[in-house]
Structure formats: C-alpha cells, structure tokens
Amino acid sequence: MEEVQLAMGEGVLREARRLLSDPLSPHAEVRYAGIRLAECLVDALRVAESRGMRLPVPDSEEHAAAEERPAPPAHPARQRPAPAQSP
C-alpha cells in the first residue's frame, strides 16, 4: 500500500509541476492540483510515520551519542534560492 501511495504522489507532483510551469494554467486546475498535492502529502507523512514506528528503539547510550552529532547539511536541491537583490 505504501508503494502505491508514494507512486501516486510522484504522479500528482509531475502533473502539478507541469501546471505550475505554465503561467496560463486555469485557476481551477491549479487549485485542484494543490488539493491533490495536499492529499498526497498526508499519505507520504502517514508512510513516514508508519516506517518510523517500525524502526528499532536505540539503546539509551547510542541514542544520546546520536543526539550529540551535528545534523547533516541540507541537500542542495532542497534549499531555496536566495531572493534576488534589487539594484
């Protein structure tokens, strides 16, 4: 079921990107894509939560050591570009 939900989300995302890249896309279609994206996000969060609950509980010492490690750097593709500066 998780695989189906995530695959559907990828399909909706592809279609939404197509709509959003066209400045002449009708408002109703863009709104519908937004509603579908929200539904897919709910499914993806449910999948993530479900998978997280299946992870083994770490030992308290290992858990404490993991919390002390710095967080890994954000993936460059997921970072928002800096706003353009006006001259």
Q: Any residues with CB less than 8 A from the CB of 2 and at least 6 apart, and which?
A: 47, 50, 51
Q: What is the pTM assigned to this prediction? A: 0.56
Percentage of the chain modeled with pLDDT above 70: 68
At 41-57, the pLDDT tens digits run: 999 999 988 888 888 87
Task: Indicate the average pLDDT of the chain.
Answer: 80
Helix/strand/coil percent split, the chain, to 5: 70, 0, 30
